[in-house]
Each structure stands twice: as C-alpha cells, then as structure tokens.
C-alpha cells in the first residue's frame, strides 16, 4: 500500500480550520454558553478526534529568545494536525490581549494559522477570530 503524502497548502490549512470551527459549533450546540473553559476544551477535543484529526492539548511551548531556549512557560490550549493553534475562551468579553497572545503563540511556534474561539456567546462564528502568519503566506495557495 502506498501512503499518500499530503502537501501543506493554504487551502489545506483552511480546510483544517473549517473543520475545527465545525467541531466547536457542535460542542456549543450541545452544551450552550455558560460552562467552564475546561469543559468546552474536553468536548472540543472529543469532537476533533471524532472528525479524524489529530489534536494535542495543553502543549507547552519553549520560549526562544535570541536563539536561546529559556524554558517553557507558555501553554497552548490545542494544536490540531500540528498546523493550527486553537485558543479557547469562555468569557463575556473578548479583549485585544487574547488576540495578541495568539499572535505571539503563532510567532513562537511557526504555525501558519490560529483560531480564537469563545464559547460564552450566542453564535460561535460571530466572535471567532482567525489569524494567519507570515508562514501561512509562504505556503502555496493550492
């Protein structure tokens, strides 16, 4: 059996992100707003795995400063297919700091795309914040 090698493109990364959002919408549809972030995280992981994607949770990221590793004090909520960082929130108000944190995580890891998802709302997609990096722009479109 020949294993097909998947080429990483902008389209491929966007398809993963689309599936992740679909998983988050399903969790929100089942649970509604008002629960703890950890509950949404557990259920979102289950949905992502059920959709056939790989997911890592509570992943520590080493801090690299001037090419020197200074330890790992950053913790990412989810990394899906080793390409998309997902930061989950269950907050009444999304503040600019959350977006800035996700941008920093993307920069430190070199991942091409991130999603900031808030479950404490009526509609997931209205507060969804997708972010892409320079790494994303370097990928072929298709």
Mean pLDDT within 86-92: 96
Task: Give residue 47's pLDDT.
Answer: 98
Task: Give residue 6's pLDDT.
Answer: 67
- The answer, yes or no, to whether residue 71 has pLDDT greater than 80, is no
Task: Give residue 3's pLDDT.
Answer: 52
CATH topology of domain 10-137: Trna Endonuclease; Chain: A, domain 1 (3.40.1350)
Find out whether 103 and 115 touch, Cβ atoms under 8 Å: no
pLDDT tens digits, 10-55: 999 999 999 999 999 999 999 999 999 999 999 999 999 999 999 9
Rounded to the nearest 10 degrees, how much is the dihedral formed by the CA atoms of 98, 73, 104, 66? 160
DSSP per position, 51-119: TT--EEEEEEE--EETTEE----EEEEEEETTTEEEEEE--SS--HHHHHHHHHHHHHHT-SEEEEEE-
Residue 101: φ, ψ to 5° = -60, -45
Q: How confident is the model at residue 121 (pLDDT cuts 50, 70, 90)?
A: very high
Task: Give residue 77's pLDDT.
Answer: 97
Burial class for 108, CB neighbours closer than 10 Å (0-12, 13-18, 19+):
middle
Mean pLDDT within 119-135: 94
User: Is 132 strand, coil or helix?
Assistant: strand
List the domain boundaries for the chain: 10-137
Task: Give residue 55's pLDDT.
Answer: 98
């Amino acid at each position: 059996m020949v294993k097909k090698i998947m080429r990483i493109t902008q389209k491929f990364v966007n398809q993963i992100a689309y599936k992740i959002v679909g998983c988050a919408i399903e969790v929100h549809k089942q649970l509604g707003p008002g629960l703890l972030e950890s509950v949404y995280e557990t259920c979102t992981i289950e949905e992502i795995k059920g959709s056939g994607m790989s997911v890592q949770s509570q992943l520590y990221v080493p801090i690299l400063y001037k090419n020197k590793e200074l330890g790992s004090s950053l913790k990412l909520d989810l990394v899906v297919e080793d390409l998309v960082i997902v930061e989950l929130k269950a907050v009444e108000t999304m503040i600019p700091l959350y977006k800035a944190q996700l941008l920093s995580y993307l920069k430190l890891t070199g991942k091409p795309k991130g999603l900031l998802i808030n479950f404490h709302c009526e509609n997931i997609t209205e507060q969804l914040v997708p972010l892409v990096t320079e790494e994303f722009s370097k990928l072929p479109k298709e």
